[in-house]
């Protein structure tokens, strides 16, 4: 989504009203893909930065990162003059891979302050960006997932085939290529009360250039002779606090 932060900086550069210059630091979240609201380690978010009016002397905009282990700003500083104040610079805020399994569930917020300084004046805080970073190093890390089903009624029995598609960040298995079969932990809970806990063999369908491993798997479950049963399964042990659930359905 496009959004713009405009912060009015009133830069009094002299004692007289006609000396007053007012620049606005214009930050626009760029449309570069991927450009998510929550960064996974290994991902970046991009901002285009420019001024709304010419500065009276060289203006410096600094991206000050609170925790440089988690976020790297590049370039961390951009300068504007009266000649290029309206030509945007693209600043990348990247969350580096760390290869560390973080114990906490969920996300953490990393502040990035945007400071404006013109000539010899004191720097002024122009904006505060909160960059949310999420660990991608736990084994069960799942980026997207879905389960659907088709039925396969064998004589006198109700057999459901569940089609499971899941995508992982490439840091989970950096070396896989399409056609490989990888094992991921999975617990399947069927609504006839049975549970299946094991590793699930999933086939790599594609390794996308955006850094995702797309996989698919099929699980067949025999619901027995009770043909009235609805067919439902949930897959846990995959997604931290969430579970995948199929769309249900009845025979």
Q: Which residues bind ligand NAG (CB under 6 A)?
A: 67, 69-70
Least CB distance from residue 103 to ligand NAG, whole Å?
A: 11
Least CB distance from residue 108 to ligand NAG, whole Å?
A: 7
Query: Any idea of the CA torsion for 100, 101, 107, 112, to the nearest 10 degrees?
Result: -10
> Is residue 160 a contact partner of residue 151, using CB atoms and an 8 Å limit?
yes
> Is residue 183 a contact partner of residue 201, using CB atoms and an 8 Å limit?
yes
- At residue 79's C-alpha, the angle toward residues 76 and 80, to 5°, is 145
What residue spans of 37-160 are helical by DSSP H? none
Which tokens go with 247? 């769309």
Q: Closest residue (Cβ) to ligand NAG?
A: 67
Query: Any idea of the CA torsion for 46, 100, 107, 2, to the nearest 10 degrees?
Result: 10
Q: How far apart are CA 185 and CA 181, in angstroms?
A: 13
In the bound state with ligand NAG, the residue whose beta carbon lies nearer, of 92 and 98, is: 98
In the bound state with ligand NAG, the residue whose beta carbon lies nearer, of 87 and 100, is: 100
In the bound state with ligand NAG, the residue whose beta carbon lies nearer, of 86 and 108, is: 108
Q: How far apart are CA 141 and CA 185, in angstroms?
A: 10
Least CB distance from residue 66 to ligand NAG, whole Å?
A: 7
In the bound state with ligand NAG, the residue whose beta carbon lies nearer, of 69 and 194, is: 69
In the bound state with ligand NAG, the residue whose beta carbon lies nearer, of 70 and 169, is: 70
Instruction: State the pairing for strand pair 4-11/21-29.
Output: antiparallel
Least CB distance from residue 44 to ligand NAG, whole Å?
A: 17
Least CB distance from residue 217 to ligand NAG, whole Å?
A: 33
| Strand order across the beta sheet in which 44-51 lies | 4-11, 21-29, 44-51, 89-94, 72-74
Least CB distance from residue 139 to ligand NAG, whole Å?
A: 19
In the bound state with ligand NAG, the residue whose beta carbon lies nearer, of 110 and 246, is: 110
Rounded to the nearest angstrom, the gap between the alpha carbon of residue 173 and the centroid of all alpha carbons in its chain is 18
């Amino acid at each position: 989504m496009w959004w713009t932060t405009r912060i009015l900086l009133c830069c009094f550069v002299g004692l007289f009203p006609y000396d007053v210059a007012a620049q606005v630091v214009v930050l626009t979240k760029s449309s570069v893909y991927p450009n998510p609201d929550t960064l996974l380690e290994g991902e970046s978010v991009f901002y285009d930065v420019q001024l709304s009016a010419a500065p009276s002397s060289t203006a410096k905009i600094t991206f000050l990162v609170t925790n440089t282990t988690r976020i790297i700003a590049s370039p961390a500083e951009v300068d504007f003059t009266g000649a290029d104040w309206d030509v945007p610079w693209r600043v990348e805020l990247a969350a580096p891979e760390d290869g560390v399994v973080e114990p906490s569930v969920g996300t953490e917020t990393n502040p990035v302050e945007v400071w404006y300084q013109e000539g010899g004046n004191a720097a002024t805080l122009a904006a505060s960006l909160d960059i949310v970073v999420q660990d991608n190093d736990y084994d069960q890390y799942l980026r997207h997932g879905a389960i659907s089903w088709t039925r396969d009624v064998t004589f006198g029995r109700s057999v459901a085939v569940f089609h499971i598609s899941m995508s992982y960040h490439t840091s989970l298995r950096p070396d896989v290529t399409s056609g490989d079969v990888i094992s991921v932990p999975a617990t399947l809970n069927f609504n006839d009360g049975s549970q299946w806990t094991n590793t699930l063999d999933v086939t790599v369908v594609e390794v996308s250039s955006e850094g995702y491993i797309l996989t698919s798997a099929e699980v067949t479950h025999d619901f027995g002779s009770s043909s009235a049963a609805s067919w439902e399964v949930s897959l846990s042990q995959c997604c931290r606090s969430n579970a995948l659930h199929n769309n249900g359905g009845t025979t």
